[in-house]
Amino acid sequence: MNTIRLGYVGAGYLAQRVHLPNLANLEGVELAALAEVRPKLGELVRARFGIPKLYADHKALAADATLDGVCLSGHFAGQGEIARELLEAGKHVFMEKPMAVSVAQAERILAAEKKSGKRLMVGYMKRYDAGNLAVKWYLDHYRQNGELGGLTYVRQHGFCGDWIAGLDTPFIQTDEKMPPAPGLTLKPGWMPDAFYDRYVGYLQQYTHNVNLVRWFLDAGEKVTVRHVDLDQEKGMAGVSILEVAGVQCVLESGWVDHHAWDEHTQLYFHKGWVRTQAPPLLMRNACASVEVYRKGEGHVTSETFPAGGWTWSYKEEMKHFAECLRTGSPFRSPGSDALHDVRTLEEIYRQYIAAQAA
Closer residue to ligand NAD, CB minimum distance, 42 or 272: 42
Which of 179, 182, 254, 334: binder of ligand NAD (CB under 6 A)?
179
| Nearest-angstrom CA–CA distance, 240 and 26 | 39
Put residue 28 in one of left, alpha, beta given phi > 0 → left and psi -120 to 50 → alpha: left
Interface with ligand NAD by CB under 6 A: which range of 76-84, 153-161, 303-311, 343-351? 76-84
Q: How many Cα atoms are found within 13 Å in the side-chain-facing hemisphere of 40? A: 7
Check binding of 205 to ligand NAD (CB under 6 A): no
212 binds ligand NAD (CB under 6 A): no
35 contacts ligand NAD (rule: CB under 6 A) = yes
Structural element, H or E, at residue 132? helix 130-145
Q: Which is nearer to ligand NAD, 69 or 123 (CB)?
A: 123
With CB under 6 A as the contact rule, the residue among 58, 84, 127, 275 that binds ligand NAD is: 58
CB of 247 to ligand NAD, least distance (A): 25
- DSSP reduced 3-state for 142: helix
Looking at the Cβ atoms of 44 and 241, the one nearer to ligand NAD is 44
Is there binding between residue 162 and ligand NAD (CB under 6 A)? no
Q: Give the other-Cβ count within 10 Å of 270's Cβ.
A: 11
Residue whose C-alpha is closest to residue 83's, from 69, 93, 68? 93
Run of H or E including 32: strand 29-35
7 binds ligand NAD (CB under 6 A): no
Is residue 38 within the footprint of ligand NAD (CB under 6 A)?
Answer: yes
- Give min distance, CB of 257 to ligand NAD, in A: 19
238 in Cβ contact with 249 (< 8 Å): no
Q: How far is the CB of 163 from ligand NAD (least distance, A)?
A: 7
Rounded distance between C-alpha atoms, residue 65 and residue 71, angstroms: 15
Amino acid at 78: G
For ligand NAD, what does the binding mask look like between residues 119 and 158, x meaning CB under 6 A?
----x-x---------------------------------
E-strand stretches of the chain: 4-9, 29-35, 53-55, 69-72, 92-95, 120-122, 151-161, 223-230, 238-244, 247-253, 261-269, 272-277, 290-294, 300-304
- By the 10 Å C-beta count (0-12 exposed, 13-18 middle, 19+ buried), 354 is classed as exposed
Binder of ligand NAD out of 4, 9, 283, 348 (CB under 6 A): 9
Decide whether 272 or 279 has the Cβ nearer to ligand NAD.
279
Nearer to ligand NAD, 178 or 194 (CB): 178
Nearest distance from C-beta of residue 149 to ligand NAD, angstroms: 34
**CB closer to ligand NAD out of 91 and 97:** 97
> Is the Cα torsion angle 130, 132, 135, 140 positive or negative in sign?
negative
Which chain residues interact with ligand NAD by CB under 6 A? 9-15, 35-38, 57-58, 73-76, 78-79, 82, 96-97, 123, 125, 178-179, 204, 281
